[in-house]
Amino acid sequence: MRRSRTFIPTTKEAPSDATLPSHQFLVRGGFINQQGAGLYNYLPLGKIVLEKIRTIVKQELDKAGCNEVQLSFITPISLWDRSGRADTMGKEMLRIQDRHNNDFVLSPTNEEAMVELVKNRVTSYKDLPLNLYQINTKFRDEARPRYGLLRGREFLMKDGYSFHASKEDMIREFNLMEETYKKIFTRLGLDFRVVQADSGAIGGDGSKEFHVLADSGEDTIVVCNSCDYGANIETIFASEEEIDALNEKSYEELQSKKIDEKCSCGGELSFKKGIEVGHIFQLGNRYSHSLEANFNDENGKPKPFEMATFGIGVSRLVASVIEQNHDESGCIWTKATAPYMVNVMISNIKDEAQVALGEELYAKLQDANVEVMLDDRKDRFGFKMKDAELIGFPYTIIIGKELANENVQIFDRATKEKTEVNAANIYEKIMELM
């Protein structure tokens, strides 16, 4: 893409309510812009990152045998009446009416609709197991939409639902999804922990959350420094007050609280802050029972499906990558999430030799399927460099004055180091880096 032809409205100032780096840099870098409270538009760069994350999620789920579907975003209220959630979901569920005064809901999640879809279509134990998922818009009228994409009202979620003939098989799938989620977050280049989560009536290992470690995380988790044990404090502390008090504390404040207890492996336990990016949950027959969704077992006897549900905050992940990877100048994208891997910078657009080399490299890298941006704008070099740092291209090839001596530079965004390279070797050098 030519920078002169794209729409990346970068700015110096962040919105006044943007307190977190991901919110500031995603808006300042021209990735997203706010449409209303908790409502965001994705501009070209933001859309590319979102799609990259969506693709990785889809690839790993498909490999694990899940089937992608897309359910209607608008669901009739009657569905929610039958499961009992029309009352319990409260104000987070946004209701709308059509011209005939029929009531609908902008889906905050889709257990009911998915059970309804499978009911009477999957009728025998022979058709099981089945895992269906979708990656689509959800709406939750959050009491406090904030932190940009981390807590929106409209957001992109992957929600999956599995159907089984037995509890054992449901647990097998639950474990498979845990492994699949680990692959997804590892591919995205994130530092994350799987933790035991508050599972209400289910107990035990019935609910696990995936947290991206970041000082700004809204959740407080306890992790072991020698094994992979982790737990949300919601599972450890009994009272709401205790939990709220710990969640209010910053990462620094928590470091002074030493946990006396040891992990069962003997390792030290410590507090960390996390952003919840995924949640897997053993549902049992809560929804299949209330919605009367049955299959016939081996003896021809009808039984409600055993179910599990699996969520990933796809748009929340965009912001989580930046919460974990940024510096004072802006975004540092991981290799899997960078909107463009290479930015070819023509420092002075009036210099014919610089333009010629820039165009040549741009064409060659495109031919090699490298995601490349050509900064062909008339602006000053310093301005363009600041912009490149804010956006966070992993590599910028600087074609500048040194070209007179046959040299160009590679700027590594993560380390901010510049390496001088002979202009004749630059293509091979950059291909080596990737």
| Residue 397 three-state SS | strand
Q: Would you say 125 or 181 has its CB closer to ligand ATP?
A: 181
Tokens encoding 399: 């074609």
Q: Would you say 208 or 413 has its CB closer to ligand ATP?
A: 208
Closest distance to ligand ATP from the beta carbon of 92 (Å): 8
Site of interaction with ligand ATP (CB under 6 A)? 109, 140, 142, 151-152, 155, 157, 276-279, 311, 313, 315-316
Residue 303 host element (H or E): strand 302-304
Sequence-distant (6+) residues with CB within 8 A of 431 are 368, 370
332 close to 414: Cβ distance less than 8 angstroms = yes
Closest distance to ligand ATP from the beta carbon of 96 (Å): 19
Closest distance to ligand ATP from the beta carbon of 62 (Å): 20
Q: Which residue's C-beta sits nearest to ligand ATP?
A: 313
Cα(103)–Cα(75) distance, rounded to whole angstroms? 9
Q: Would you say 92 or 360 has its CB closer to ligand ATP?
A: 92
Q: Would you say 234 or 376 has its CB closer to ligand ATP?
A: 234
Q: Would you say 150 or 293 has its CB closer to ligand ATP?
A: 150
Closest distance to ligand ATP from the beta carbon of 174 (Å): 14
| Helix, strand and coil percent figures for the chain, each rounded to 5 | 35, 30, 35
Tokens encoding 166: 């037995």
Closest distance to ligand ATP from the beta carbon of 242 (Å): 18
β-partners of residue 274 are: 213, 219
Task: Pick left, alpha or beta for residue 284 (phi over 0 → left; psi -120 to 50 → alpha; otherwise beta).
Answer: left
Q: Would you say 162 or 315 has its CB closer to ligand ATP?
A: 315
Closest distance to ligand ATP from the beta carbon of 179 (Å): 17
Closest distance to ligand ATP from the beta carbon of 228 (Å): 19
**Which residue from 224, 300, 292, 263 is spatially nearest to 83, judged by alpha carbons?**
292
Cα(337)–Cα(334) distance, rounded to whole angstroms? 5
Q: Would you say 140 or 273 has its CB closer to ligand ATP?
A: 140
Q: Would you say 38 or 394 has its CB closer to ligand ATP?
A: 38
327 close to 333: Cβ distance less than 8 angstroms = no
Give the residue carrying structure tokens 């799938």.
Answer: 173
Cα(329)–Cα(411) distance, rounded to whole angstroms? 14
Sequence-distant (6+) residues with CB within 8 A of 41 are 32, 33, 34, 35
Closest distance to ligand ATP from the beta carbon of 270 (Å): 22
